[in-house]
Structure 1
Amino acid sequence: MADEPAWLTVLRSLVAGQHTPTGEVLDAGAEMLVFNDPDGPAVFQAPLARMLRPVPEEPGMVWIRPVVGGYRPVHRSSQDPYYAFNLSTARRRGLAVAHGEVLPADGDGQPSSVRLALHGGQTALVRPASGEMLEELQRWDTFTLLVLPSETLADLARLSEDSWHGPYA
């Protein structure tokens, strides 16, 4: 990791929640905004699961998992989670990074953010999650850590599969 670009080091830290103000990584995390036009509105926004996998043989290729597909089960029983996620919707995504840069920290004590120019022409901004985005990430954390079997969580964390079968697919 010592040879990785600065943007990847900061991205890894943001996704892991290492910028936590409380010392508990589950109190912090990252969100990603994607722009078709750098001066236009975001066309996609989601928190990022605490999963990141660079591809060493493809410099600039990074796999992440946006947190989407959350829902409250309609017919809940006592064993059902309060909040769940459709794992087929919360699929891994590859970022083909042409250029990455670390943006300086804001004056309000927030850690650095990362701006990524993607090969497809879009721009991704990864910054500390806050508000509703952080709340959704915390629901994901609760679901993945307390509801999913450990094998399923390990499969998700590898960021190598896109198809899921079972109760949350």
Structure 2
Amino acid sequence: MNREIDLDEAERILENLVAGRAQKRADDLLPGAELVIDGGQRVALARHVRRDTDEPALLWVRPLSAAFQDPETRLPVFDLAIIRRRALQVTAARLDGPRLRLDLVGGATATVQPARSGQLVVLQDFDTWMTTIPAGEREGLEALDHD
């Protein structure tokens, strides 16, 4: 099933993908989403999305890199300078099975799909890290309205 969808539906699907809704658990790992640009490297996406109020064709996401391990607590830690929010400026969207394909300004294609293997581990680390940071910082990260 490959069908064109509007941005409202694309936003809902994106939110469902990053939250892991309607996906099966993989072992003890909660489901979530990963981002692939032009068929390149897969990166996990944090569990929050924001559609820009001033530019409705702009979707904000937070791609994740692997965590560092705090030597004292042995808990995962993420560097906010690396996991900055990113904008996806969408020109067209389509649903392709469980994947959301977004055509972007500039000609690139972003695919958001259910996360697999190593990306699920990154998501689990990010979820753990989010519980260790102050509430205000956590809310700011989830809002995706500044870096």
Which range, TM-score by smaller chain? 0.7 to 0.9
**Structure 1 residue 7 displacement after superposition:** 2.0
With normalisation by structure 2, the TM-score equals 0.86
Q: Which has the higher contact order (CA 8 A, sep 6+)?
A: 2
Deviation of the 1:53 alpha carbon: 0.3
Unaligned runs of 5+ in 2: 1-5
Equivalent residues in 2 for 1:73-88 (5 A)? 73=70, 76-77=71-72, 80-88=73-81
Shift of 1:113: 1.1
Q: Does 1:58 align with 2:27?
A: no
Secondary structure of the residue aligned to 1:124 is strand
Q: 8 Å contact 1:34–1:122 — kept in the other structure?
A: yes
The DSSP-based 3-state class of the residue aligned with 2:83 is: coil
AA matched with 2:143: R
Aligned partner of 2:108 among 122, 126, 129: 122
**1:56 CA drift (Å):** 3.2
Gaps of 5+ in 1: 36-40, 105-111, 163-169
**Residue identity (%):** 32
Distance 1:124 1:54 in 2: 16
Deviates more, 1:52-61 or 1:86-95: 52-61
Taking the TM superposition and a 5 Å limit, the aligned residue runs for 1:4-153 are: 5-21=8-24, 27-35=30-38, 41-42=39-40, 44-68=41-65, 70-73=67-70, 76-77=71-72, 80-104=73-97, 112-145=98-131, 147-153=132-138
- CA offset at residue 150 of structure 1? 1.1
State the one-letter code of the partner of 1:8. Answer: E
SS in 1 for 2:13: helix
Q: CA RMSD in A?
A: 1.8
Q: 1-side partners of 2:92 and 2:7: how far apart?
A: 13
**Between Structure 1 and Structure 2, how many residues are aligned?**
139
- Computing the radius of gyration from Cα coordinates, the structure with the larger value is 1
